[in-house]
Structures are given as structure tokens and as C-alpha cells.
Structure 1
Amino acid sequence: MSEKDLWRLSATETAARTTAGDITAEAAAGAAIDRMEAVNPRLNAVVESLADEARARAQALDKARAGGGPCGPLHGVPVTIKVNVDQAGHATTNGVVALKDMIAPADAPIVENLHRAGAVVIGRTNTPEFSFRADTDNPLYGRTHNPWGDHISPGGSSGGGAAAVMAGIGALAHGNDIGGSLRFPAAANGAVTVKPGLGRVPAWNPSQKAERGMLAQSMSVQGLMAREARDLHLSMPTMIETDPRDPFHVPLPWRGAPSEGPVTVGFTKQTYEFDLHPEVSRALDAARDALVDAGYNVVEVEPPMLREAALDGYRALMGEGLVLMEADIRAHGSATIQAIFDEYYRQFPPFVGDELLRVMAKRSYYARQWSLFLDEYPLVITPFLPQPFFSPDRDTEGEEGVREVLGSALWSYSMNFLGLPAANVPARLAELTQGPQPINVQIVARRWREDLAVDAAIAIEDRIGRLCLPLWERMG
């Protein structure tokens, strides 16, 4: 592989080669930056290039290694950071024009942890306004485009990161997820991710002026997207390092106890009132077959109270948002985001007052039912969306658009309300009339067992292959 093609390396391959001295961190960062400068003008995935400081950091890492200093687990790995998380000296805009000059005074825990591990941040990635949309567009930076083509939304809210990592701009992309914002863009672009469970990854923005609402605290998590599932085993232990600024972080190791015998996996194609598309059905079959071949015990199941938990959770989140976000959205949001929120409120009538308190209490009931269920089935393979990923701006198309984008995503936001880990991995590349399109499936795991979900994602990827390879051929 020539030096200019080093951007093709996975995070695992990059870290191994920079640590061994086969390549320099400067060469790895330079190749990723060159790739960014070549493909990002069309994608608009990275909205702030950090090329100069990335090169300087990579040079410093090389100098430290040459002097006998230790190498972190992500030594020289190029990464991107989403613009809704603090990175010292850079604006935490959250895709909002009014926040374009809000410069972060210090790094958020995840940025600190990545730096400590030796990662090199090459750019900051796009998000929709207020990071509360499953598509990525805003008046400040404009639209992010999916590298597979404009027939597919890049997803959101971490759409910039997913488009970047799949296009070869960095081996890892940071994102976050309050209702699906890691898994939507992973599914849209054919990336792999694991939404961590509640308390797994420390979170806090030094620039914030008030604490987030209790449901936002309970449902939102920080994570990474990659183009190779094994990179999550390399990188997620870095993400879960303790930070005292998050008082509710749970300091558990990444790897749990090994299983005795084959892991039992629940399998469902249940999409409730939404039609299951044949391509999604084929993707689920492919994921099931891959796990069976890998030695898993796969059993068809009927998961408990999924639809009820999903709708109660999202209506509760909308109730909290009505109190804590509504004023900012009306004051600083575009007409587009205001219209989308109005439609959200119509389709997910917010719980308020006593209702909100009662449904927040009922969250424990739902979580207990799932805890008992996952005691028998440590992993569950589920659809993510019932249909192939939607087109750009579908959520601006009134009731039917929002119903397809968010209303059908019961398997997504339910996992946030329950606080459970959920991986998302491509299991098929569908050839549809409008063009090729990744189809991802979801792997729900027991609490604290993100590692089991990643193991299963690796087994599926080993059978299906990495979708970055046909994508790069298509991109040229």
C-alpha cells in the first residue's frame, strides 16, 4: 500500500503499524487529510478542517515515540469529532447559527479520552440544528450528502461523522445518540456502531450553562462509528475511561465475563404496524445465518412491550423538550426545524405535568421486563428501520414523512429509553431502483454487555463483508 492510500487502513491496522514504526502518525494523518480534501467538497461531512493542528499533533506523537515514550491504543489513528461536543478552542455550534461563536473552554471527556489514547483529530463533523433530526442539514453549514449518492439521506444527527468515516475521512467518527443519532447515520451510510448503554461513556460539555433534563441525561450517550466492527473493540475501551466530571459514569471494564457455551440470541422481524420491506427481511435473514454459522444459538422470540416502551419514551422526551428546548428552537431555529418539531409534537403528543412524572417512573417497569427477557436472551437481533433508509428531507414532508423517518423507528428510540446497548451493522447491500443502498440490522445486548453486541457484529461482518469496499469502488 502506498503512503497516499493509508487512509484505507482500519483503526486497528493504523494503530498496529504506527506503534510498530512501520508508518508514522504524520503519514497516517496526512493521508486522511488528503482524502478529506479530495472528497469532502462534495460531501460536506466535515465542516471545520483541523488539518494544521492534526499534522502538528501527529508530528509530536512521532517525536514522543522516537524518544521511547509509550504509545496509546489509538496511536496515530485519524478521527473526527461532531460539532455538538466541546473541543477546546473550537465552536460547539450544534448546527445553530446563534452558537457559531461559542468557543469551548476545554475538551469534553470523550475528546480528552481520545487524545489520551493517541488519536489525531482531523476535523469536526456536521449535525442538524440542535442535533434533533434524523437527517443532516442546517442553515449554518448546509447539507451533508451520503457518499452512496443523493438518493439516500446521510442520516442524523451524526450524519457528518458517518458520511466521513465511510468515505475514508478518518478511521473513526465520534457521534452521540439520544433517539438513534449514532444508529440512523450508521444505517444510512453502511457504517458499524454500538450505542452504549446508560452510564457507560462519561459525558459533559464544559461550555454548557445549565444541566440537561433528566430524560436527556438518561437517554443520550456518546459513541463511535467505524467502517470495521473490530475497530469498536479497539476504540471503545478508550471511550469508557472514567472522568470525574460525569458523576453518574459507571466504571466497568469493556469486556464482561466470558459465556459458558454458545450465546443464545433472540431473533425477531417484528415491525408492528409498519410493513417490513423484503430487503430488510433479507438482511435480517443474512444476519441470523451468519450468527448460526458462527456458533450462536438463534431462537425466534417476541420481545416484551417494545412498542409501548418506545412510544412512552419518545412522548416523555418530547414533553421534556417542550419545557427545556422549545424557547431556544423558536428563538434560534430555522423555519424548517420549527415545522419538523411541530409535526413531532403532533405525532408524539408530549407528556406533561403528572403524566410526565408517571411515565418517567414507568421507565423502570419497562426496563425490568427487558432485563428479565435479556437474562434468557443476552442478545437480540432486530430490524432497525422497517424500510430501506429514506431520502433527504423526507422529514420535511408532513405527516407521512415524519411517520416514515421517526414514527417507524420504534426499535431505535426504545433502546435509549430503556438505557440498553444496541449495535448497528450492515447485513446487506440492496440494489434498489434509485441506486445501491446499505441495509443495517440492530443487535440489542444485556446491560453493560456492549462487548457481546460487537462480537456479534464482527460475526455478521465476517460473513457479509465491509461495505466501505464497494463504496470506494463506486466513489472512484
Structure 2
Amino acid sequence: MAEKPVWQLSASELAQKIVQGETTAEAVVTGTVERMRAVNTDLNAVVDDMGDEAIETARSLDALQSSAGPVGPLHGVPVTIKVNVDQKGRSTTNGVKAFSDIVAQDDAPFVKNLTNAGAIVIGRTNTPEFSFRATTTNELHGRTSNPWNEWASPGGSSGGASAAVMSGMGPIAHGNDIGGSLRFPAAATGAVTVKPGLGRTPAWNPSQKAERGMLAQLMSVQGVICREVRDVRLAMKSAIAYDPHDPWQVPVPFEGPDLERPTKVGFTRNTYQFEAHPAIVRALDTARDCLLDAGYEVVEIETPDISEIGETGYRALMGEVNVLMLNDVRRHGSPEINRMFDEYFELFPPFKDDELLHQMARRSHFIRQWNLLLEDYPLVLCPFLPSPTYAWNRDAEGKDGIMEVLGCGIWSFAMNYMGFPAGIVSPGMHEGMPVAVQVVGKRFREDLILDALEAVETRTGVMADKLFKRDAP
């Protein structure tokens, strides 16, 4: 069997080969940058090419390794960073033309954590305007395509990240998630991710002029999208390094205590008022069977009402957005994103005044319900979306499009609103596209989620391998 090119290798393999002297950081980064430049013209995933600087950094790391050893567990591994977090000397555009001149004076903590571990940034990835769509397009950088099919969305808001990682532009892509922005792209492209729980990874932009709203602080998290589960684990172990700029981060070890075996998994196919597509049901059943085969105890359960939690969370966030963000959208956003915000507010009427405070207080009730459930079932296998991926601009096609893409994402929003970690893996395909499921876990137990995702991946295969094989000459 022919040896894979460096851009197809996992981060885990690359780090090991570099440390063992089988290759160099320069060779790895150069090969990955060449791949990025070969495919990015069609995909438009990376909108700030840092390849030349990355190769110079790789040479420096090679010299350092020869004299002092590797700098960390990600030594020489190429990564990408989303354009809505700070990176020293680069524009933090957030997909908005008016923000092009916001040049960061320092790196965000998440970026520092990756580069301190030895990762090398080869480019910055695209996001929709204000990172507030489930697809990835904007007037500043243009549209990002899905590497599987030009018709399909790459997801959002970390669509540039998912398209980059799945097409070979680095094995680790940074992204973030306030309502699904790591998981929508992973689901759309067949990548894997875990949305960390509240307090797990540091979040702060040195360029920020004001504090984010309270709900944004409680719901938004930084994370990674990868081709393989083991790379999510590898990256997360470095990404969780504590930073005091984030008032919510808790310095908890990545691996928690062992659980009594077999690990109990709650299982539900419930998509509430939205009809479940047969491909989603098949994917859920496949994932369940994989977990059973791996020795998990899987029990069909009823969970607390996700429809109520998801809708409440979205309307509460819209209430905060209405007060703290809407002026910027009106002033700097395109006509399209402004029309979409009008439709968001009609479909998910923002809670206001006393009602917003009362609903935010109810958040603890929802969390308590799920805490009690997760005491009995530390993991829950559930739908992510009720149907497979969607057309690239479907969420801009009126209220029906928004409901088909975002409105049905109750299993996504609910986990952000409550602050629980949740992972994505695709155990099946439908019409040539990946079909994803979600695994939810207890707070600070991303490790358990990754164990379960890996059990599925081991039995169904790495989805990127199917993509690379399909596109091989």
C-alpha cells in the first residue's frame, strides 16, 4: 500500500513521526501548505494564508528540537485558526467588512495554548457574518464550499474550519460554538468534534472593546474540529491550559475518574415536533450498535424536554442579542444578514425585560434536570439534527429555510444553553454525504464522550478516509 502524503496523516501520527525523526516539521508544514494552496482556490476555507510564515516557524522548531527536544505534544503539527479570534498581527474580521482593520495585539488564549504545545498556524479560516449562521459565506471573504459536494453547506459558523480539515489543510482546525458552530460543520462534512462544556477551554479576545453578554459567556466555547477522534483528544489536552483572563474557566484535569463498568448510555431518537429522516434513525441505530459491541450498556430513555430547553435557550439568547449586538448588525451587516435577523426575531421572539430575567433563572432548572439524568446515564446518544445536511444557502431562503436548518437544531442549542459538552461523529452516509449523531456527557467529561465517539469511529471508519478515497485520481 502506498504511503499516505503528509497532509492525510493524523495529528497524532505527525507528532510521533516528527519526534522520532522520521520526518521534520518543515517537511510536514510544507506538504500541508502545498495541499492548502492546491485545493483552497475551489473551497475558500482559508481566507488568510500564513503558509510562508508557517514554514519559517517549522524550520525554527526543527532547530529547537535538535538542540532541546520537542516543545510540546503538538510539535510541528499544522493547524488553522478561525477569523473570529485574535491572532497577533492578524485581522479579527468575524466575517464582517467593517472589522477588517481590527488587528490583534496579542493571541487569544486558545491560540497560545495550541502554539505553546508546538502547533504551527498555516492559515485562518472563514466564518459567516458575526459568526451567526449555520452556513459559511460573507461579503468580505465569500462562500466556503463543502469538500463532499458543492451543493451542500459546510456548516457554520466554523464552516471554514471543517472544510479545511476535511480537505487536508491541517489535521486540527480551531473553531467555536455558541449554538452549534463546532457541531453543525462537523456534521455537515463528516468531521469529528466535541463541544466543550462551560469552563473547560479559555475564551477571551485581547482586542475586545467591551465584555460579551452574560448568556454569550455562558453558552460560547472554544474547541477543535478534526478528521479523527484521537486528534480531538490530543488537541484538547493542550487547549485546556488555564488562562486567568477567562472568569469561567476551571483548571480540571482532562481525564476524569473511572466509572463503574459497563458505562451506561441513555439512547433516544426523539426529534420532538420535527420528523426524523430515515437516514438519521439508521445512523443512531448504527451508533447504538457500535457502543453495544464496544461493551457499553445502552438503554432507551426519555430525556427532559429538549424542545422546551432548546427554544427557551434560543429566545433568551435572542433577547441578549437584541440589546447588545443588534446595533452592530444593523450598522455593519449586509442586507442579507439583516433580513435574516428580522426573521430570527419573528421565529424566535426575544425574551425582554422581566421575562428575560425569569427565563434565565429557569436555566438552572433545566441544568438540574439534566444533571440528575446524567448521574444515572453519564452519556446520552441522541440526534443532532433531524435530517441530513442542507443546501449551502438554505438558511437564507426565508423562514422555512431557517427552520429547516436552525429552527430544528434544538438538540444543539439546548446543550449550549445548559453548558454540557457534546460530541459529533458520523456513523453513516446518505446520498453520498455523511450523517451525524450526537453524544452528550456530564460536565468536564469530554474524555468519556471521546471514548464513545472513538468506539463508533473504530467500527464504522474514519469518514475522511472515504472522502480521500473517493477523490483519489
* Conserved 8 A contact 2:11-2:77: yes
Instruction: Give the AA of the match of 2:447.
Output: D
Alignment-derived partner of residue 342 in structure 2: 342
Deviation at 1:470, TM superposition (A): 1.6
1:474 CA displacement = 2.7
Q: Shift in Å at residue 68 of structure 1?
A: 2.4
Q: Which residue of 1 aligns with 2:37?
A: 37
The normalised TM-score by structure 1 is 0.98
Per the TM alignment, residue 232 of structure 1 is displaced from its structure 2 partner at its CA by 1.6
The question of whether the paired residues in 2 share the 8 Å contact of 1:147 and 1:475 is answered with no
Q: Which runs of 4+ in 1 moved over 3 A?
A: 1-4
Does residue 442 of structure 2 align to residue 446 of structure 1? yes
Distance in 1 (CA, whole Å) between partners of 2:70 and 2:57 is 15
Which letter maps to 1:260?
A: E
Residue 5 of structure 2 aligns with which residue? 5
Does residue 395 of structure 2 align to residue 395 of structure 1?
Answer: yes
* Structure 1 counterpart of 2:293: 293
Please say if residues 420 and 445 of structure 1, whose CA atoms lie closer than 8 Å, have aligned partners that are also in contact: yes
Match of 2:462 among 447, 463, 466: 466
Whole-Å separation in 1 of the counterparts to 2:250 and 2:16:
29
- Give me the whole-angstrom Cα distance separating, in 2, the residues matched to 1:405 and 1:233: 29
The 3-state SS of whatever aligns with 1:223 is strand
Match of 1:81 in 2: 81
Q: Tell me what 1:112 maps to.
A: 112
Map 1:46-65 to 2 at 5 A. 46-65=46-65
Q: Which residue does the alignment assign to 2:311?
A: 311
TM-aligned CA deviation for residue 44 of structure 1: 0.2
2:416 alignment partner in structure 1: 416
Task: State the alpha-carbon separation in 2 of the partners of residues 385 and 47 from structure 1.
Answer: 28
Provide Cα deviations, 1:116-171, integer angstroms capped at 9, x if missing partner: 00001000000000001000000000000000011210100000000000001001
Aligned-pair CA distance for 1:3? 8.9
- Note if contact 1:4-1:31 (Cα within 8 Å) is conserved in structure 2: no
1:2 Cα deviation from its structure 2 partner: 8.1
Deviation at 1:24, TM superposition (A): 0.2
Q: Aligned runs of 1:239-278 on 2, under 5 Å?
A: 239-278=239-278
Report the Cα distance in structure 1 between the residues aligned to 2:175 and 2:250, rounded to whole angstroms.
Answer: 20
Deviations 1:194-235 (CA, angstroms, capped at 9, x unpaired): 000001001100000000000000000000000001112211
Matched letter for residue 186 of structure 1 = A
Q: In the alignment, is the contact (CA less than 8 A) between 1:178 and 1:219 conserved in 2?
A: yes
Separation (CA, whole Å) in 2 of partners of 1:134 and 1:327: 21
Q: How far, CA to CA, are the matches of 1:420 and 1:329 in structure 2?
A: 29
Give the letter for the 1:439 counterpart: V
Contact 2:71 2:116 in 1 (8 A): no
Name the aligned partner's letter for residue 460 of structure 1: V
Q: TM-score, normalised by structure 2?
A: 0.99
1: CA distance between counterparts of 2:258 and 2:28? Answer: 35
- Work out the CA distance in 2 between the residues paired with 1:331 and 1:420: 34
Partner letter of residue 184 of structure 1? F
SS of aligned partner of 2:5: helix
**Structure 1 residue aligned with 2:93:** 93
Shift of 1:190: 0.4
Distance, in Å, in 1 between the alignment partners of 2:150 and 2:53 is 32
- For residue 386 of structure 2, give the secondary structure of its aligned residue in structure 1: coil
Matched with 2:25 is 25
**Does the CA-based 8 Å contact 1:79-1:119 persist in structure 2?**
yes
Q: Secondary structure at the match of 1:133?
A: coil
Tell me the distance in 1 between the aligned counterparts of 2:222 and 2:68: 33
Match of 1:201 in 2: 201
Change (3 A) 1:2 1:427: closer
What is the alpha-carbon distance in structure 1 between the residues aligned to residue 377 and residue 35 of structure 2? Answer: 42
State whether residues 422 and 439 of structure 2, in contact with CA within 8 Å, keep that contact through their aligned partners in structure 1. Answer: yes
Cross-structure match for 2:219? 219
Deviation string for 1:330-361 (max 9, x for gaps)?
00000110111111111100001001111111
Q: Which moved more, 1:242-251 or 1:320-329?
A: 242-251
Deviation at 1:21, TM superposition (A): 1.1
Partner of 1:150: 150
Q: Give the AA of the match of 2:462.
A: R
How far apart are 1:313 and its partner, in Å? 0.6
Whole-Å separation in 1 of the counterparts to 2:463 and 2:205: 33
Corresponding residue number in structure 1 for 2:379: 379
Is the contact made by 2:70 and 2:118 (CA closer than 8 Å) also made in structure 1?
no
Unaligned runs of 5+ in 2: none
| Partner residue, 1:15 | 15
What is residue 228 of structure 1 aligned with on the other side?
A: 228
**Is the 1:380–1:444 contact (alpha carbons within 8 Å) kept by the matching residues of 2?**
yes
Higher mean alpha-carbon deviation, 305-314 vs 118-127, is at: 305-314
The alpha-carbon deviation at position 4 of structure 1 amounts to 8.4
Percent identity over the alignment is 58
Q: Given residue 463 of structure 1, which amino acid in structure 2 is its aligned partner?
A: R
Matched-pair contact (CA < 8 Å) for 1:429–1:467: no
SS of equivalent residue, structure 2 residue 424: strand
Matches within 5 A, 1:424-443: 424-430=424-430, 432=431, 436-443=432-439
SS of match in other structure, 1:67: helix
- Larger deviation, residues 301-310 vs 289-298: 301-310
Per-residue deviation, 1:114: 0.5
Query: In structure 2, how many angstroms separate the alpha carbons of the residues matched to 1:174 and 1:141?
Result: 18
Supply the AA of the counterpart residue of 2:358: R
- Computed over aligned residues only, the root mean square deviation of the Cα atoms, in angstroms, reads 1.1
Aligned partner of residue 452 in structure 1, secondary structure: helix
Query: Is 1:457 aligned to 2:453, yes or no?
Result: yes
Paired positions, count:
472
Q: CA shift at 1:307, angstroms?
A: 1.3
Distance 2:230 2:112 in 1: 22
CA distance, structure 2, for counterparts of residue 429 and residue 16 of structure 1: 31
Equivalent-residue separation in structure 2 for 1:470 and 1:336 (angstroms): 35
Q: State the 1:305 CA deviation.
A: 2.1
Mapped contact 2:204–2:245 kept (Cα < 8 A): yes
Deviation, structure 1 residue 70: 3.8
> Quick check: 2:198–2:248 contact (8 Å CA) kept in 1?
no
Cα distance between partner residues in 2 of 1:413 and 1:475:
34
